[in-house]
Structure 1
């Protein structure tokens, strides 16, 4: 017995030692790719020595003799910190993810190949001006210098992920940076999905009911929606089965419509500023990831220093400031996509119907290599309207007539895209007027840029806007037949006709993705805008003070009052509050009364420490589900996100929308009060199952956890503990401090889409400006800079945003010197 015990003990000790040894070995190899932020590197491609000064937050401050040398060093720094992220973004644009990740990313590759994102980027290299092309080449050379250093210096393959997905690395090219810009544009449009959803609804519901669920933003210039079946004869019979979504797979740049882009930006003129100069705040909203998509940097150019947020892979400061000019970006929500059903010649599959007869598709084959499976060959096709989309994606089988294929026209597919060049011009502008001129060459995505110099402010829509015929059958809101000339784009509007607002009389301007123009179709920008709620709170906060300061702008950025909650609770609870006698303890009725009592005293603040936000969010989610499930069946899953305008239309019975409250499958006629009561009970049951029965002890932050997931290793057991970042957060779907929730799945109220960058710029004292990102600068999970800024971001804190070279050097934690190689 003793012998057996000794052997078991020895085996156990041996296993522990082997496990510790394996962990130590993994740590050793992973740590080899941790960059050293001090040292001298001899590199080819620079004209003179360059310094990369890292501060305590790992923000690089780059000083060089020429602009090209500075862009070179930015490429070097990006590659040091975000090597894997850059390579993955490039593979996404190229449609080559499946070479590493196998069949699970095949649908993403197919879509990107069919759109030919990388081909459009490659073609766009030829139209860059001399400065932009030189900057792109210098940036690429800097990235390649780090790749050379990784290969020659045994630096752990450059990133720990490379040990799991090792592959040959092609040199960085200018087209790679342009392609990443196009991937960003694709992330910020949901018009592909919106058109298909609206068409699917139109096949089964009257147009007024479609308008209830997918409402056009209220205001002048709205259009009645035609029936899709009338636009596209022989469309498939109604099918409300829930579609699977290969386009939302791992690493896909396509977002569900409910998780589209959003952002805030606002500025105060001298007359509304307590500081004696202008103020500007910006917080772009994107999906949360680890690391963040954003990377902070300062570039000391010949025209002066610029500082702000970059995207690794691109040489631009996308949002930030110089000493003289600041700029903030928000998604404009322009309808920049039209889908077409193209009739294929039944006698010749290489032809489609055009306005004057059969025309030839432009075609070529492409091969997608798939790890662990046979290569896949697909035939790429283009009509005059654009590329043929993958037949199975976006729910297209539900709306495509037999004998047709679906094509897309999108401004982001331009092969003469000078958006990056426009951004480089903006970085060297010194006034609002110069900034607006610089933006004239911006193409996609259509972006609302808020500008401020020391004396002036402006809001400028940048980007190419499609011109539609006044007789377009769906006005761009539904797919149409591609051969009808009136449905095709009639070119684009000149930049001078893009909306712009300079120095308004009220001294304040800004954008929360709200509707900014009432121009009627076809001069309009869109029928659907990204926000109808946050803008109401923003207006109140801006008018609450006669003058503003940097601190009041920070307070507005961090505001967590939900105007949607304030608007909707009086509607859905009007006939429930304080009605009936007190119910016995422990009954569902008593819990309902307790929940209503809590909400009655609540001011709409989505604070992580309060119970009311969780009760409210669960109630609204259950209510929308009850309203639409009996009409839509499984298709209701396509609308996981609460739409305040829909709830308001129903409870105010706008256009007869109260009909949604009656459950069609039941004999009684339910009122909206009945459904509201049942939805509250549903919500309380759900809360009890997940968070307990004691309503007073609930915390919104327990449900509203910010999920910064690593896009590749975030779902790998054990590794996910090291690479994913979790934080309890305040805010919600419709707060200025936005924390958008998915509305479905295991964690329906998780914070998955938020302000991953915040910046506030004060031109009375520019070096008192501040900024922060949602994780840290490094993409390496073993680096202390992987998540060090995340705690500041969660608490609503910032770091200094100074262009002072002396301060940067005085606070340096590391200095890299790039020396020209002999």
Structure 2
């Protein structure tokens, strides 16, 4: 062969063979970055030995006689399995990603530094009890112990030519704040509302936003209604969007599903709790499956990497799960600066000095570094008022800068304490007491115990506003628009052993019916909670964990029924359209991956939105930033609103022809025709090949290598996806011409707990237990998760192989 094909032989010998040798050497070298599975390791920090068991999925079971030793061992296994994730999270919370990722991460760093996440974490640390602090200190010691033990680190460190830095106690508290930031998006809503109120006529506002429009009044704030203000708000929104796109932070209806049923509905005659938190999707997952057995600590479930605690799970007495309350805990304010004396802002009848600090951000040179100039450190001046940081300063200073007030920046934050105490709670009273320490995020927490009780408690600080309901930015200074305090914890919503024996939470407002305090205007529609309740209540038999699994995998979208009747009015023009229409007309709304109807419906409604809203909205602004924001409003309108707009012919007029004959039915027909063209181009002419799972896939993005060709295939993972934004099995996706619909938001893990039975604690992580790409557990749960399969915690881990951490020198 080599004589016959000399060119191929040269390529093999000169290029491919050396690459293969390097690859084999690299993989063998990186094997040393994996955790040991047997043997002993000396750990002088410990007071007594700890056994580290690992099952066939790489899930860890820690067994020791001292709780602090267990927290230390948790730090060890987190570092063993998720070292790059820890490094990334630490740098993200400190605003130091640019040091390793370069100028692409600079916007994120500026934003996090402007918010003052790390400084707020330093303040929060001072408020923790000695016991809570000890747990963090032990965890940090465990992480740093493993960093010091290792000479070979995961591939990301090699490729970026860096080494992991020591973890600090504040890093853990800062990550709790980042978790809270991930769940708080109210400032984005205020910006959207304000720009919409500035840009659109009142009639259109009412049709788009409904009753809430009455709270958009901005006439009395005319001095702030200027172009620099809009530009500043656009910049804030752009920074938020950058964080969301780069790191899958935030998103629409960021939340979860959780429900609990009492023993009267259960075949085992005991409560069953189910939970699947929804966040931006990534590899590795935010979550880490873990069992901890110490002197007093006996918890298992899903921990959050960066903390030593089980965030959602169970101990020997109770189980707990949670969802995002969707509470409005962020407000924006227009501040007034003193034009005669620099550095003062208006506060009531006086002028107060701005808080100021200089932040210096080191930025790595572009790749290849040898061929590019060193980038000078970026210096930013962060200013604050009594309400919070001036977040408009990220781009420019102005006469009326915008400040942010957010519960997550409260100096007396004790949120870590709440999660710490939850792990030790043994009844409803101690569960409630633990949650009284929660500041941010605001959560709906569900409860079950071994005595057969179930309950729900709202937790986290919810502001009581002196003026308004946090719908748009308000002026600060002259008028009292500040917060008047928080809803007292004793008056937060609660349920205990309801007569129905069922509690469902899915980010909607149903648990707050008749509640006297304002919580939010950003609740998710009730489609998911309604579907969950229907599936629980309808069976004429007692329910099992298997039934809960089926519910978590349910892909019926109840919102579909709002628009689907319009398909009945379409007259097919050819056989292709007739086949597609027949599929829609006989379709139940199930967004299953192996069905063609979801593909037709989703693309059709997308085309309706584009035709319906592009002309009506595009004529009312000149700035691209405002255009982007209002187009975002259009793309996320509920289908009920879309259907209502289709009842008004003025929304259906084509601006190119200005013809009233181009009515709404013609628009619907045109959108349907265009949808079939899009699908034919994307998936081919044969409708049988238009399965939703072919058009939509889940993307588990890796930071930073999903953004680098060749490396993306090594680090990123994908799977076919069913579901939609309103199905119980949530799938929120964006459209890409080359890829179809890319799901970047959904359940990050699933968990089902049958109380009183250690054999029935089921779970599945979305990617795998490890964050190390050469580990077999890096992605071994991806397809299992896609198929809604489950593993269970081992009730007898002592039968597994283990590594023993040996105390003493």
State how far apart, in whole Å, the 2-side matches of 1:55 and 1:559 are: 29
Q: Secondary structure at the match of 2:92?
A: helix
State how far apart, in whole Å, the 1-side matches of 2:239 and 2:115 are: 16
State the match for 2:803 in structure 1.
816
Give a deviation string over 1:374-394, Cα, whole Å, max 9, x none. Answer: 00111111111111114457x
Which residues in structure 2 correspond to 1:284-683 (within 5 Å)?
Answer: 284-372=277-365, 373-391=375-393, 403-454=399-450, 455-469=452-466, 472=467, 474-518=468-512, 523-546=517-540, 547-570=542-565, 572-576=566-570, 579=571, 583=573, 589-633=574-618, 637-638=628-629, 639-640=631-632, 646-652=638-644, 659-664=650-655, 666-669=657-660, 670-683=662-675
Give a deviation string over 1:35-77, Cα, whole Å, max 9, x none. Answer: 2222211112210001111111111100111110000000100
Q: Secondary structure at the match of 2:534?
A: helix
Contact 2:337 / 2:344 at 8 angstroms: preserved in 1?
A: yes
Shift of 1:621: 1.2
State how far apart, in whole Å, the 1-side matches of 2:669 and 2:264 are: 49
Shift of 1:10: 5.2
Contact 2:593 / 2:691 at 8 angstroms: preserved in 1?
A: yes
State the match for 1:103 in structure 2.
103
Q: Secondary structure at the match of 1:318?
A: strand
Contact 1:92 / 1:252 at 8 angstroms: preserved in 2?
A: no
State how far apart, in whole Å, the 2-side matches of 1:790 and 1:596 are: 34
Q: 1:48 to 1:257 in 2, by over 3 A?
A: closer
Q: 1:255 to 1:719 in 2, by over 3 A?
A: closer
Q: 1:630 to 1:68 in 2, by over 3 A?
A: same
Q: Secondary structure at the match of 1:387?
A: coil
Q: Secondary structure at the match of 2:440?
A: coil
State how far apart, in whole Å, the 1-side matches of 2:706 and 2:45 are: 37
Q: Secondary structure at the match of 1:602?
A: coil
Q: 1:251 to 1:39 in 2, by over 3 A?
A: farther
State the match for 1:687 in structure 2.
679
Shift of 1:660: 3.1
Q: Secondary structure at the match of 1:386?
A: coil
Shift of 1:258: 4.4
Structure 2 unaligned blocks of 5 or more: 366-374, 619-623
User: Is 752-761 or 227-236 further displaced after alignment?
Assistant: 227-236
State how far apart, in whole Å, the 2-side matches of 1:10 and 1:516 are: 69
Give a deviation string over 1:74-98, Cα, whole Å, max 9, x none. Answer: 0100000000101110100100011
Give a deviation string over 1:490-510, Cα, whole Å, max 9, x none. Answer: 122211111111111111111
Contact 2:118 / 2:174 at 8 angstroms: preserved in 1?
A: yes
Q: Secondary structure at the match of 1:752?
A: strand
Contact 1:649 / 1:657 at 8 angstroms: preserved in 2?
A: no
Contact 1:451 / 1:458 at 8 angstroms: preserved in 2?
A: yes
Q: 1:743 to 1:431 in 2, by over 3 A?
A: farther
Contact 2:749 / 2:764 at 8 angstroms: preserved in 1?
A: yes
Shift of 1:242: 8.9
Structure 1 unaligned blocks of 5 or more: 217-221, 584-588
Contact 1:611 / 1:696 at 8 angstroms: preserved in 2?
A: yes
Q: 1:467 to 1:657 in 2, by over 3 A?
A: farther
Q: What TM-score results when the alignment is normalised by the length of structure 2?
A: 0.92
Which residues in structure 2 correspond to 1:53-452 (within 5 Å)?
Answer: 53-150=53-150, 154=151, 156=152, 158-167=153-162, 169-207=164-202, 209-214=204-209, 224-237=214-227, 245-249=238-242, 258-372=251-365, 373-391=375-393, 403-452=399-448
Contact 2:493 / 2:512 at 8 angstroms: preserved in 1?
A: no
Contact 1:708 / 1:752 at 8 angstroms: preserved in 2?
A: yes
Contact 2:329 / 2:463 at 8 angstroms: preserved in 1?
A: yes
User: Is 19-28 or 706-715 further displaced after alignment?
Assistant: 19-28
Q: Secondary structure at the match of 1:266?
A: strand
Q: 1:432 to 1:208 in 2, by over 3 A?
A: farther
Contact 2:332 / 2:402 at 8 angstroms: preserved in 1?
A: yes
State how far apart, in whole Å, the 2-side matches of 1:686 and 1:180 are: 42
State how far apart, in whole Å, the 1-side matches of 2:360 and 2:80 are: 32
Q: Secondary structure at the match of 2:569?
A: coil
Contact 1:641 / 1:742 at 8 angstroms: preserved in 2?
A: no
Q: What TM-score results when the alignment is normalised by the length of structure 1?
A: 0.90
Shift of 1:535: 2.1
Q: 1:206 to 1:699 in 2, by over 3 A?
A: same
Shift of 1:665: 5.0
Shift of 1:416: 2.1
Contact 2:243 / 2:249 at 8 angstroms: preserved in 1?
A: no
Q: Secondary structure at the match of 2:379?
A: strand
Shift of 1:434: 2.0
Shift of 1:485: 3.7
Q: Secondary structure at the match of 1:265?
A: strand
State the match for 2:369 in structure 1.
none
State how far apart, in whole Å, the 1-side matches of 2:204 and 2:479 are: 29
Shift of 1:417: 1.9
Contact 1:265 / 1:280 at 8 angstroms: preserved in 2?
A: yes
Q: CA RMSD in A?
A: 2.7
State how far apart, in whole Å, the 1-side matches of 2:9 and 2:761 are: 61
Q: 1:644 to 1:383 in 2, by over 3 A?
A: closer
State how far apart, in whole Å, the 2-side matches of 1:443 and 1:646 are: 31
Shift of 1:263: 0.5
State how far apart, in whole Å, the 1-side matches of 2:210 and 2:426 are: 41
State the match for 1:20 in structure 2.
20
State the match for 1:725 in structure 2.
717
State how far apart, in whole Å, the 1-side matches of 2:246 and 2:295 are: 35
State the match for 1:38 in structure 2.
38
Q: 1:414 to 1:745 in 2, by over 3 A?
A: farther
Give a deviation string over 1:669-728, Cα, whole Å, max 9, x none. Answer: 243322222221221111111111222321111121111111211122222111111111
State how far apart, in whole Å, the 2-side matches of 1:167 and 1:215 are: 53
Contact 2:731 / 2:745 at 8 angstroms: preserved in 1?
A: yes
User: Is 247-256 or 198-207 further displaced after alignment?
Assistant: 247-256
Contact 2:608 / 2:671 at 8 angstroms: preserved in 1?
A: yes
Contact 1:215 / 1:645 at 8 angstroms: preserved in 2?
A: no
Q: 1:664 to 1:61 in 2, by over 3 A?
A: same
Of the three residues 751, 759, 771, the one matched with 1:759 is 751
Q: Secondary structure at the match of 1:309?
A: strand
State how far apart, in whole Å, the 2-side matches of 1:228 and 1:376 are: 36
